[in-house]
Structure formats: structure tokens, C-alpha cells
């Protein structure tokens, strides 16, 4: 059972050391690690939502763990170590595509992450969508003010 993840402000984000294992416990640096059972559950549900190729499962697992780490409020995208996750901006852009297409919401509604993490994912999706809408509105306003 996962304990609830508390969201912190950007200056208060701290890693919460816990035991590392592929049983789903977060590692000592505070990164989310899905256990093998959690990953199997995710894959089973994900295949009903997206086309998940077996050859890409390792990359997808790193991506999902990166998103869950950022979602938990423990790291910003740029703070993800490249030796563990690869290039952070690739995960960030993939995350935006999944947000736009409703993949995260569909996975969370089907409880692909278990009930607690899925509930947190729904909140994350709502906050991210609201943030994207605000960014687009500001961009639109800037463009319109330049034309005027």
C-alpha cells in the first residue's frame, strides 16, 4: 500500500528516503519505482488504452516512473538524472502528448496505477491541463496585443 504523496511548493520539494526495491517502494533518492506487480498491472491496463509494443516496455517503464516522480512533487523535469531516465525533455514532451490525447486520464480512470496513485494521477492531469490552458491563453493574449 502506498502512502499518500503530498504536493509541495517548488522551493519545498525534498526527497523522502525510503527502501529501494522492485516491490514498488520508492528508492533512497525519492524517485518512484514501480514494482514488477505494479508494472504488470499497468501494462495490462495500458494495452487497452494505447498500443504498447513489448520492445518499448523498458523505455515506457522509465517514462512512467519519471512522470510519477514529477507528479509526486519530488523532482522537476530537469532534475531527473539522465543516467537513470534518459533525456528529461523527451519524457516531458511525451507526457504533454499523453495529456493532450487523454492517455493519462484513461489510465487513471481504469486504475492502472492502483487506486491511490490513480487518484493522484487524476489530480495531476487536471492541474496540468489547467496550466496548459493558462499558458495558451497568455500566449494568445500576447500575440493579439502585438497585432493591435
Per domain, the residue ranges of the chain are 36-147
Q: Where are the alpha helices (DSSP H) in 18-114?
A: 36-49, 57-71, 82-85, 88-101, 103-109
Question: Is residue 8 helix, strand or coil?
Answer: coil
pLDDT tens by residue, 12-22: 334 433 333 34
* Res 26: pLDDT: 58
**What pTM, to 2 d.p., does this model score?**
0.75
* Res 28: pLDDT: 61
CB 84 within 8 A of CB 65: no
pLDDT tens by residue, 83-137: 999 999 999 999 999 999 999 999 999 999 888 999 999 999 999 999 999 999 9
Amino acid at each position: 500500500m502506498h502512502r499518500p504523496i503530498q504536493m509541495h511548493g517548488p522551493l519545498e520539494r525534498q526527497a523522502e528516503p525510503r527502501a529501494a526495491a522492485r516491490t514498488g517502494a520508492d528508492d533512497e533518492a525519492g524517485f518512484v519505482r514501480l514494482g514488477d506487480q505494479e508494472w504488470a498491472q499497468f501494462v495490462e491496463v495500458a494495452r487497452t488504452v494505447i498500443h504498447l509494443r513489448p520492445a518499448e516496455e523498458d523505455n515506457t517503464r522509465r517514462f512512467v516512473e519519471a512522470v510519477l516522480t514529477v507528479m509526486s512533487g519530488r523532482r522537476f523535469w530537469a532534475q531527473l538524472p539522465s543516467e537513470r531516465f534518459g533525456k528529461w525533455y523527451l519524457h516531458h514532451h511525451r507526457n504533454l502528448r499523453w495529456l493532450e490525447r487523454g492517455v493519462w486520464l484513461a489510465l487513471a480512470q481504469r486504475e492502472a496505477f492502483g487506486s491511490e496513485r490513480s487518484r493522484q494521477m487524476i489530480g495531476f492531469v487536471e492541474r496540468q491541463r489547467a496550466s496548459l490552458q493558462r499558458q495558451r491563453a497568455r500566449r494568445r493574449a500576447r500575440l493579439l496585443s502585438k497585432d493591435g
